[in-house]
Structure 1
Amino acid sequence: MKLLRALALMALAGALAACPMAREPAKPPLWRVSDGDTTIWLMGAIHLLPPRIDWRTDAVDRAMDADELVLETDPTATGDFDAIAKAPGLLPLAKRVGADRQDALARAIERTGQPGDAFDGYKDWAAAVMLATGDALDSRATAKNGIDAQLWGNFKGRQRIALEKPGDQLRALDMLPPQLQERMLDETLDGADYDTTYDAWATGDLAAIDKAAPSKELRPFLVTAANRRWADWVAARMSQKGKVLVAVGAGHLAGKDAIPELLKAKGLKVERIQ
């Protein structure tokens, strides 16, 4: 999933009550990187899920038999969102959005269940992060039910590693040039709804996942840079024996600069399993 949804749990507090969801069992995208004595599984995660989603296929269960879990961030950790995301003297959010976006903004705010002025005082990138959760909340999707939180709990007693700190991700967004922060907000208002994103993940549809990714202007900052860092980590980890499950947002595993493609370019054996 996009970085916006990965950070959503830090932007809005609380979770909606669980309710039954009529959805087919999910088959998240899964790869295996292997050599003689090392196996690293790459799993496409979705950070917010409704309750009662069955994503534990036989292939996923084999991957979860690993000795070590690696996630983007520790799902139990939080960054100081407001300290980074707010700035004094900003115009109200509605006055920073063009006339042609006012209806989309109103709908996005309504889906979050927050009053409109709750987003005032936040920088454009931060408002985008907060608004990105709206459709997910409508579908009763929460971070507690997401892949990250479930895997983290499942691997209690085994080694658990976070590739980055939440604060680092927030600061990276805060360093975006103003015009790209505005673009991020616009793309959030125009972006795919949660059900579309969920369906792409649940069916392992890489083309649909890639279609929902940030634009070519934002992708280098929100996707590609992380892909390169994480591919380097995986390649280095291959020099050690063992079985590792790496679960990152599915958007990082789709597209020409996806982690599996970068690993293939490094000469590693990469197989799509699911």
Structure 2
Amino acid sequence: MIDGGSEMKSFTKAIRILLPLSMFIGSAAQAAPALWVVSDTDSTVYLFGTQHALPAGMNWRTSRLDAAMRASATLWLEAESNSGGAGAIVQQRGLDPANPLETKLSPAQKTKLDAVLVHYGVPAAKFAPMRPWLAAMTLAQLPLTKAGLDAKNGADLTLKALAEEQSKPIEGFETMAQQVGYLADLPEADQIAFLEDVINRAARGVQLPTMIAAAWQAGDIAALETIVNVELKQRSPRLYTRLVSERNVRYAARIQQLLAGNKDQFVAVGVGHLVGTESIQVALARKGLKVRRIE
């Protein structure tokens, strides 16, 4: 059994990075990460698409974004800010040491996984006790790390630190248990298909994470939609529905509730939720709310 130390921290980081994998009104004012607003008569909600892992020193904050943060009463993230006990949740739902991962894979799948792990210098024993969904999440971190991207530099953690400096409340749309459940509750066959897809993507090296980070920094929504969502929807439609489109509908409902108040709010969620034909903005438009891109 793996203990609750460094391995659990690594697993929890994987959830934060990846759960959170191009339709808007208006146009970008400059090349910068995208920022939208939706307003009513007495309040505004800012919608910012985050990248959960970034290289050190990337300059992405703008004066418009900083002004939006200052104007907002609360920062809303995908998951609750206090993730105490997250490691225990991941361990409970993500580890199955009695049934090693290799026994759940075909010989071809195992061969591909072993080759990728050798490429990244990671011992196969680390993955042996993991259920397929957790193996996929953990494996997906390896190209990020090799590309020099780190969750410590992620936009969501940067905004969280800024909110703390400004003594703002930090809330979450979901709990860590909910986020883990999106994957842990998948049938095992779907988990294995997810893992195989991640293996194939990891075999491509640092190309994809580097492209995503560059597109995010430039506010290139069309590129992000293609890289992040279109491929996922084509490869794993059930996973796309579970991780993206269904959650976007729920997020939009919460944002509508925030607008019912009289204070400005800042919502920062993974950029994949804010691109494409099933984005949060589209869900809000169906409720009669006009979303405008301001950056």
User: Common fold, TM-score beyond 0.5?
Assistant: yes
CA contact (8 A) 1:92 1:117 kept: no
What aligned pairs does 1:1-274 form with structure 2 within 5 A after superposition? 10-11=12-13, 27-65=32-70, 66-75=72-81, 77-78=83-84, 79=86, 80=88, 81-93=90-102, 96=105, 99=108, 102-103=111-112, 106-107=115-116, 110-111=119-120, 113-156=121-164, 157-191=167-201, 193-211=208-226, 212-213=228-229, 214-215=232-233, 216-274=237-295
CA contact (8 A) 2:112 2:199 kept: no
* CA distance in structure 2 between the aligned counterparts of 1:101 and 1:210, rounded to whole angstroms: 31
Residue type at the aligned position of 2:115: A
For the residue of structure 1 that corresponds to 2:264, the secondary structure is: strand
* CA distance in structure 2 between the aligned counterparts of 1:109 and 1:64, rounded to whole angstroms: 43
Residue of structure 1 in register with 2:4 after alignment: none
TM-score by length of 1: 0.85
Q: Which runs of 4+ in 1 moved over 6 A?
A: none
Aligned residues: 256
For the residue of structure 1 that corresponds to 2:130, the secondary structure is: coil
Determine what percentage of the aligned residue pairs are the same residue.
30
* CA distance in structure 2 between the aligned counterparts of 1:88 and 1:64, rounded to whole angstroms: 45
Q: What does the per-residue CA deviation read over 1:117-170, in whole Å, with 9 as the maximum and x for residues that have no partner? A: 101111111101101111111123222211111111111111211111112211
User: Mind listing any 5+ residue stretches in structure 2 that lack a counterpart?
Assistant: 1-8, 15-29, 202-206
* CA distance in structure 2 between the aligned counterparts of 1:70 and 1:53, rounded to whole angstroms: 23
Residue of structure 2 in register with 1:3 after alignment: none
The two structures, once aligned, show a CA RMSD in angstroms of: 2.5
TM-score by length of 2: 0.79
Q: What does the per-residue CA deviation read over 1:159-191, in whole Å, with 9 as the maximum and x for residues that have no partner? A: 211111112211221111122111211221233
* CA distance in structure 2 between the aligned counterparts of 1:67 and 1:10, rounded to whole angstroms: 28
User: Mind listing any 5+ residue stretches in structure 1 that lack a counterpart?
Assistant: 1-6, 13-24
CA contact (8 A) 2:101 2:132 kept: no
CA contact (8 A) 2:81 2:171 kept: no
